[in-house]
Structure 1
Amino acid sequence: MDLGALDVLCCHISIGDPDPENPMKIKNPVELFEVQEIEINESYKELIGTAKLKFPKGTVFKSTVIGPVTMEGKDASKISTEIMQDGVIIEKKSSQSAVDETTFKIGQRINIKLGYNGLLKNMFDGYIVGYNSDSQFEITCENMAYKLKLKQAPKFETPVKGTKVNDVLGDKYGLLKDTDFKIHTDTQKFDIQIGKVKVTDNFTVADVLSDWSKFKVYCFLKYDADSPDDMPTIAIGRPYSSSKSQPVFPTDVDGPFPIYFDYHVATNDLDIVKTDPKFLAVTGKALGTNEKFFEVTIRLNPEHDPTDSNSKEFQVVNATQISKKTHKVTGNTTAKGAETKTKVDLSTYTIVPYMSPSIGINSDKLVEETTEYFRNYNLNGITGSITIFGDYGIPSAVQVELFDYRNPSKNGIYLVEEVTTTFGVNGYRQKLTIPYKIKGEKSTYGSEK
């Protein structure tokens, strides 16, 4: 057996009281270096990421007590002193104890670092929100966005048009004021527009940010390389379903992460989906000036004649019917080509969603955007997920580049939508959901690239 090729799993879990002065600091932490199972779930579609940890009975933890605290019932293996900056000498006592029902408390801070051979990467920061000490010790945690669930949102109301994410999160409306969170530097550059935001007394900051998902504007936590502290920032992303070309997400210095199927991949659950463009339809949705959503559906005209200049290439079907009263108030109209209320049966079609990033547009503009999205839609997409080993410690909303020499149609750069990280007696794995190919060989409805 070649011991030189053996990778040893390592973890470092710190749990303690939150520091009111520094949210990322844990006061008087207990430290654990063994665990039965860890599962971390995060997605750019969810503001609140979660983690679950299981410990067997008898798990030993290390703690350090500062000051003249009694060590009765504890194994004081090390006593030391330290001179602080103000000249005060403090006494530190290190001890080891077995986990019991008094070890953890709801509301405590937790930090999880995982890796191989002593090289650890920070994988989770958050708070304990649930604790079970029945047959084994199990704790449930939420990431640092848990703090936003406890913060009342300020009352304000924005106009339907011209409201930008930077204004809502920044100084103009002050949604993040006194939360310790800042906006990711890339998000500030995107200048994303959002519909009308109306906040009442019954909303928390987390409620407001999570509600934006209905506009395909997703808020999630992301560490910022340009940020001077270790606190994660609020990042905003738009996937392909709300972009005419590329998705809009903060970039990573280390990405894209190369993934080779013959080395990194433990399990492959990807499927290559080939769609007949004749039976593809795109449903576009937008927020009108009356603060209500309306939609149109675009499909190819089955009788389109390229040689006839009067022949329409696309058909508009199943559009939202605009009433005369609404038309009088907003100026919106029902999209041309779908004047009747008869619904076309599209049960045999592949329906692709599109959310317009424009606020307060009319039906004709939505048809234009949806048609353009149809033209650029990638027909040979990837669905499913892959499970890789824990070499990278990948978060969601990053780019990965796949290399499969046996099936090169998978090759390309993808955006990671969701990550499920598992660590424990069964190894270290990450399940990546990657529905969006950003770059690589692709075919649109009318061309090969």
Structure 2
Amino acid sequence: MLKLNAKIKVYETVRLIPTPKFYEFTYVKNVEINSSYKSLTDTATIVMPQKVYTDTKGFDQNLFANASGEQKTIHDFFKLENFIEIFLGYDGDYKPAFRGYITGVQSDTNATITCEDLMYAFKKIKAVKDDTVQDKNDTLNVVATNPTTNVEKFNPKTFFEKRIRELNLPLKINALDEDLGNLMINRGQTLAQVFEMLKDKGIYTYFKTENLVPVLTITNNPQQHTAAELAGFIDRNFIKSPLAGALAKKLINQGLSLLSSKLNKIAQSVSGGFLGKASFRFRYNIIEDKLVVVKESTKNTRTRVEKYFKNSNTPIYIELGDPNGQLVKTYVLHSDNENLPNDAAGFKQTATKVASELYQYAALRAMESKPSGFEGSFLTFGEPFVRPTDKIILENAKDKEKNGTFQVEKVERTYGENGYRQRIYIGRRVEAI
């Protein structure tokens, strides 16, 4: 029988930066961890005994008692904004299940410690420094009560790498490297608020668990669609644009290399036990099945994308989905540096090219909410360890639709008195077995 093991490290911090001084615990009553690429912040809740005594076994007692030998409470070690790491596993194997900050400590019979991942730091740090917001040549910006900075040709990779590396936080960055046009950022907005702005544009931000440090991931393709998948989706759900028509469809189907270059690739870990793929078998290591098969459908819905240009107040636009369906989302793009041609032939050619790019943009966003795959979850043991955006292979199902390879959307991890479990929520079908 496998033996459960847990390890918790709590680091003292200075301005949210972890210091070398830490306390280590190898016991815990219960742990709950919620992780999803669709939510900005992962959370953890730890339940521990309220008091730590000098006769506790298995610890360096110098950490838990002062010079007079008095007992210490959990509050002496779990303090607000201390950095925390949670490692879970079996038989001496410890995998990093959570890294972040302590956001609350409550005492009752037991102590309950609430935590948020490193996104907590980005909720407290401004996206732009105060001394870089104001443009001295812009008198209107100087007198504005809430001045903004206009970031031209906003690129998530260059912008966030420059700002975040200045903070010296324990993380790596894997960010979308693409020009998103102009982005207005208010002086008081935090990094997390900018991440929320990007989410409205179909760009997701989340932390990916890795062996050494978490990876801040900023991507327009969290479900890791391929260019061929998107082209097929467009072909099945095409609506004629008043500007593009059949020519745009032809450009889309021929333009897979262009589309592929715009898909942000998410690197899978190949070390530290994180393979990015795991296998599960029904009636073997699946404890409970609450999965419901769903099919791709754009019936009764439409997605619209509009792009405005410097010399035009009328956008080029496309729509994807059911022509009679409800308009569920409109994405608005701006180009302050591009002009549309004035001559008819040049305008038609440019409009067709832009429309084909907008179809690609729309398909990537539309597929996020209309995948073929699953809704719901299944319950399994703590191993094999999976993370959001990992792929899992399901086998040996009585319902053949449940066999295949699927992508993980969310993981609820529990550890403690009732054992070590993962409730895994999965979404789109990647491929059939």
Q: With structure 1 as the length reference, what TM-score do the two structures score?
A: 0.66
1:137 deviates by 0.8
CA RMSD of aligned residues (A): 4.0
Instruction: Please say if residues 45 and 213 of structure 1, whose CA atoms lie closer than 8 Å, have aligned partners that are also in contact.
Output: no
**Counterparts in 2 of 1:243-392, with a 5 A limit?**
245=229, 248-252=264-268, 253=270, 254-274=275-295, 280-286=299-305, 288-289=307-308, 329-332=312-315, 344=324, 364-365=355-356, 368-369=359-360, 380-392=372-384
Residues 106 and 131, structure 1, Cα contact 8 Å, conserved in 2:
yes
After superposition, the Cα gap between the structure-2 partners of 1:54 and 1:388, relative to the gap in structure 1 and judged at 3 Å, is same
Which protein shows a greater Rg? 1
Q: CA deviation at 1:380?
A: 4.6
SS where residue 416 of structure 1 aligns?
strand
**C-alpha contact 1:169 1:183 (8 A) present in aligned 2:** no
Q: Which amino acid aligns with 2:67?
A: M
2:4 is matched with 9
* Matching residue's letter, 1:286: V
Q: Distance in 1 between matches of 2:370 and 2:195?
A: 30
The residue aligned with 2:203 is 217
1:332 deviates by: 1.7
In 2, Cα distance between equivalents of 1:57 and 1:164? 47
Per-residue CA distance 1:130-158 (angstroms, 9 max, x = gap): 11102321111111232222222213422
> Are 2:391 and 2:405, in contact at CA under 8 Å, matched by a contact in 1?
yes
Q: Secondary structure at the match of 2:159?
A: helix
User: Could you tell me which of 40, 60, 67 is aligned with 1:71?
Assistant: 67
**Does residue 207 of structure 1 match 2:179?**
no
1:121 is aligned to 95
Shift of 1:234: 1.6
Instruction: Provide closer, same or farther for how the CA distance between residues 370 and 120 of structure 1 changes in structure 2, counting only shifts above 3 A.
Output: closer
How far apart are 1:417 and its partner, in Å? 1.4
Query: 1:372 & 1:131 partners in 2: Cα distance?
Result: 44
Worse-superposed segment, 141-150 or 415-424: 141-150
Does the Cα contact within 8 Å between 1:40 and 1:50 map onto a contact in 2?
Answer: yes
Q: 1:141 to 1:182 in 2, by over 3 A?
A: closer
The answer on 1:36 being equivalent to 2:22 is no
> CA 1:16 to 1:65, structure 2 compared with 1: closer, same or farther past 3 Å?
farther
Cα distance, 1:41–1:217 mapped onto 2, change above 3 Å: same
Residue identity opposite 1:46 in structure 2: S
For residue 345 of structure 1, report the CA deviation from its aligned partner. 6.4
SS at match of 2:40: coil
TM-superposed CA distance for 1:126, in Å, is 1.5
**2-structure distance, mates of 1:70, 1:203:** 43
Q: Could you say if the C-alpha distance between residues 207 and 63 of structure 1 is closer, same or farther in structure 2, counting changes exceeding 3 Å?
A: farther
SS of residue matched to 1:435: strand
Deviations 1:203-228 (A, max 9, x none): 12222123211112111122567xxx
- Distance in 1 separating the partners of 2:209 and 2:330: 27
Matched with 2:42 is: 49
1:235 alignment partner in structure 2: 217
Contact residue 336 and residue 364 of structure 1 kept, 8 A? no
Contact 2:293 2:373 in 1 (8 A): yes
Answering whether residue 21 of structure 2 is matched by residue 27 of structure 1, we say yes
* Distance (whole Å) between structure 1 residues aligned to residue 396 and residue 160 of structure 2: 42
CA distance in 2: counterparts of 1:234 and 1:241, whole angstroms: 16
Higher normalized helix content (fraction of residues): 2
Q: Give the structure-2-normalised TM-score.
A: 0.68
- Is the Cα contact below 8 Å between 2:122 and 2:191 reproduced in 1? yes
SS at match of 1:397: coil
- C-alpha separation in 2, matches of 1:28 and 1:369: 49
Query: Of residues 142, 152, 170 in structure 1, which corresponds to 2:161?
Result: 170
Q: Is the 8 A contact 1:399 1:414 kept in 2?
A: yes
Matched, 1:427 2:415: no
Partners of 1:122 and 1:375 in 2: CA distance: 31
Give the deviation of 1:366 after TM superposition.
Answer: 7.6
Identity of matched residues, %:
22
By how many angstroms is 1:15 displaced? 2.2
- Output one character per residue of 1:287-319: Cα deviation in whole Å (capped at 9) or x when no partner: 5337xxxxxxxxxxxxxxxxxxxxxxxxxxxxx
Count of matched residue positions in the alignment of Structure 1 and Structure 2: 352
Superposition deviation, residue 393 in structure 1: 2.6
CA contact (8 A) 2:302 2:325 kept: no
Q: Aligned partner of 1:250: which letter?
A: I
Which amino acid in 2 is paired with 1:150? K
Give a deviation string over 1:207-265, Cα, whole Å, max 9, x none: 2123211112111122567xxxx332321232459986367551322122122223321
TM-fit CA distance, 1:194: 3.1
